[in-house]
């Protein structure tokens, strides 16, 4: 999924079991006010619908930046999910932002996550080192998000460590309505830098001892809504990215503390909100979808023009790449291998091995060489699954696949493509994106969002040159990283074919783990 900033969803998966073990409600955190039926403040946003407050730039006689253009959607809009005492961030006010993110008593939708509020503390030296290393990393990997002041203009150009010099100040210069950081100004003894976009903000402040150039662990502490204090023990240590771009900076007595809230990019549906609303507030999955994707409607995707029932998935190796040095697969059912001019029947529980020799796909069955071919082969089974042996995902080893497997040569490596019914694809996506403990109703909302996302990529066919529609990683949606479960299967079966459309096209159904109390318009994140 490119939801959500897609690397965020993998982080969510790794932690969600720990977080949900704390239950849906706590007696000492009763909610003071009811959940409003909708938090949407605008039925349509575009770069012209609301402007950032550029007071910081005006007060400091700096050129006004204007880098957030496009990517607006009338169904990905600012939403208020916080329940007490705070409103949208219409004006530049860092004192208000700091107060908000330091408030561990504030309640809101989805506040049962330890990501609802979090903090991380550096020494001044550690913080300056983190920022310096963050700038250098981003200059190589996301250079489009960093500008340098040149006269009266912000100029995008390459720079080195010498150009950074000594860090003098780091200031949050503008925010979206949700409070998400949109611009940061970094002043050094040699230059002034402008950094933008939430993913780069999060990477700039990477809370790990390597970036901070220290021997101690850099810890993140979290708090549920209404808890009144942070956890005694850290829930993350030495990570490569902040949980979110919803944060504020406090400098005090030789230390710098970043206070923040939420986990993920903060656009679309919060998964913890879907959990909270359905488990504790009598929302149906359709209510959740209406709240977080306004101006969309539910339709049956299989009645849309150009949509077939099967999807093709590029299967990654243990390291996340598409190239497999060799493939070892098997099944509890009989396997049939079909290629150009040949057909091979394989007994049950017999290994099929494939590797590239002299540019051809060489296939062995039960350890004996059977065929070499320059063309792709298709593998099916009379059993339920084909098992890809010797492959490890973060939560599964030897993952199993429904449908059929296609193998083909790609240079000196084997490419693996899984073709299957879209609903079966979702049965191995949903458990990887939301835990079954969130309940069937929340899982239905997730199923519709995931199916919509799959449909969008299916129609775009952005991996056409590779021969598939989606990848099995966070670049699309996480697929086959967790075992199937009955709750997810039920949610998929109960919503079969349902997708969200806007203006007769699939919605870009972004989703993420936890909000900080507000959700942002798409165009101020990407």
Burial class for 465, CB neighbours closer than 10 Å (0-12, 13-18, 19+): exposed
Residue 516 within a domain: no
Domain count, the chain: 2
**Cα 52 off chain centre by:** 25
If asked whether residues 263 and 332 sit together in one domain, one would say no
If asked whether residues 147 and 72 sit together in one domain, one would say yes
- How far is Cα 4 from Cα 217, in angstroms, rounded to an integer? 28
If asked whether residues 231 and 322 sit together in one domain, one would say no
Residue 386 within a domain: yes
Alpha helices per DSSP H over 467-507 = 486-494
Residue 487 within a domain: yes
Burial class for 208, CB neighbours closer than 10 Å (0-12, 13-18, 19+): middle
**For the chain, which residues score pLDDT lower than 70?**
1-49
Are the C-beta atoms of residues 29 and 280 closer than 8 Å to each other?
no
pLDDT at residue 372, as a whole number: 95
pLDDT at residue 396, as a whole number: 75
Of 48, 97, 91, nearest to 70 (Cα)?
48
If asked whether residues 110 and 193 sit together in one domain, one would say yes
183-222 per-position pLDDT tens digit: 999 999 999 999 999 999 999 999 999 999 999 999 999 9
Non-local CB neighbours of 496 within 8 Å, separated by 6+ positions: 423
If asked whether residues 139 and 195 sit together in one domain, one would say yes
Structure tokens at 88: 């949208």
Measured at the CA of 465, the angle between CA 462 and CA 470, to 5 degrees, comes to 40
Q: Which domain holds residue 133?
A: 7-27+50-269
Are the C-beta atoms of residues 119 and 221 closer than 8 Å to each other?
yes
pTM of the model: 0.87
If asked whether residues 345 and 214 sit together in one domain, one would say no
If asked whether residues 340 and 203 sit together in one domain, one would say no
Residue 309 within a domain: yes
If asked whether residues 259 and 328 sit together in one domain, one would say no
Measured at the CA of 370, the angle between CA 369 and CA 374, to 5 degrees, comes to 105
If asked whether residues 232 and 344 sit together in one domain, one would say no
If asked whether residues 357 and 241 sit together in one domain, one would say no
Residue 519 within a domain: no
pLDDT at residue 37, as a whole number: 52
**Cα 510 off chain centre by:** 9
Q: Which helix (H) or strand (E) holds 453?
A: helix 440-460
Are the C-beta atoms of residues 327 and 316 closer than 8 Å to each other?
no
- How far is Cα 176 from Cα 117, in angstroms, rounded to an integer? 19
Residue 251 within a domain: yes
Q: Which helix (H) or strand (E) holds 379?
A: strand 377-381
Of 55, 173, 205, 78, nearest to 524 (Cα)?
78
Residue 277 within a domain: no
pLDDT at residue 36, as a whole number: 56
pLDDT at residue 186, as a whole number: 98
Residue 291 within a domain: no
Of 340, 342, 400, nearest to 376 (Cα)?
340
User: Which residues in 14-33 are b (16+ Cβ under 10 Å) and which e?
Assistant: ebbeebbeeeeeeeeeebee
pLDDT at residue 35, as a whole number: 61
pLDDT at residue 39, as a whole number: 53
- How far is Cα 421 from Cα 86, in angstroms, rounded to an integer? 46
């Amino acid at each position: 999924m490119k939801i959500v900033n897609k690397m965020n969803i993998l982080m969510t998966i790794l932690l969600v079991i720990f977080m949900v073990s704390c239950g849906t409600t706590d007696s000492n955190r009763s909610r003071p006010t009811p959940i409003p039926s909708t938090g949407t403040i605008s039925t349509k946003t575009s770069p012209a619908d609301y402007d950032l407050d550029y007071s910081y730039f005006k007060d400091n006689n700096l050129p006004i930046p204007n880098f957030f253009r496009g990517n607006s959607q009338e169904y990905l809009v600012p939403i208020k999910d916080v329940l007490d005492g705070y409103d949208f961030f219409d004006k530049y006010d860092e004192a208000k932002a700091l107060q908000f993110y330091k408030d561990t008593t504030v309640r809101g939708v989805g506040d049962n996550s330890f990501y609802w509020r979090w903090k991380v503390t550096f020494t001044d030296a550690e913080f300056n080192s983190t920022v310096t290393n963050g700038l250098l990393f981003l200059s190589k990997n996301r250079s489009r998000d960093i500008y340098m002041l040149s006269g009266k203009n912000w100029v995008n150009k390459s720079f080195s460590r010498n150009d950074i010099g000594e860090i003098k100040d780091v200031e949050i210069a503008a925010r979206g309505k949700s409070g998400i950081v949109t611009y940061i100004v970094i002043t050094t003894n040699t230059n002034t830098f402008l950094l933008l976009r939430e993913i780069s903000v999060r990477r700039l402040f990477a809370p790990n001892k390597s970036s901070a150039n220290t021997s101690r662990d850099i810890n993140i502490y979290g708090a549920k809504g209404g808890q009144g204090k942070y956890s005694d023990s850290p829930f993350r240590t030495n990570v490569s990215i902040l949980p979110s771009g919803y944060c504020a900076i406090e400098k005090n007595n030789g230390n710098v503390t970043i206070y923040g809230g939420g986990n993920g990019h903060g656009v679309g549906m919060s998964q913890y909100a879907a959990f909270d609303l359905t488990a504790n507030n009598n929302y149906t999955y359709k209510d959740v979808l209406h709240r977080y994707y306004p101006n969309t409607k539910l339709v049956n995707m299989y009645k849309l023009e150009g949509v077939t029932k099967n999807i093709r998935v590029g299967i990654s190796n243990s390291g996340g790449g598409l190239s497999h040095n060799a493939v070892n697969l098997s099944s509890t059912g009989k396997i049939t291998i079909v290629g150009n001019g040949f057909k091979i029947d394989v007994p049950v529980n017999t290994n099929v091995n494939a590797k590239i020799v002299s540019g051809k796909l060489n296939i062995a069955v039960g350890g004996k060489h059977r065929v070499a071919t320059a063309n792709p082969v298709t593998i099916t089974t009379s059993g339920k699954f084909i098992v890809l042996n010797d492959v490890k995902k973060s939560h599964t080893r030897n993952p199993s696949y429904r449908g059929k497997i296609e193998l083909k040569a790609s240079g000196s490596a084997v490419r693996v493509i899984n073709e299957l019914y879209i609903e079966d694809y979702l049965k191995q996506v949903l458990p990887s994106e939301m835990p079954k403990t969130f309940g069937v109703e929340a899982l239905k909302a997730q199923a519709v969002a995931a199916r919509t996302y799959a449909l969008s990529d299916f129609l775009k066919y952005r991996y056409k040159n590779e021969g598939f529609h989606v990848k099995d990683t966070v670049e699309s949606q996480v697929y086959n990283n967790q075992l199937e479960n009955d709750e997810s299967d039920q949610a998929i079966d109960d919503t079969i074919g349902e997708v969200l459309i806007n203006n007769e096209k699939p919605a870009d159904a972004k989703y993420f783990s936890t909000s900080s109390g507000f959700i942002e318009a798409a165009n101020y994140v990407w």
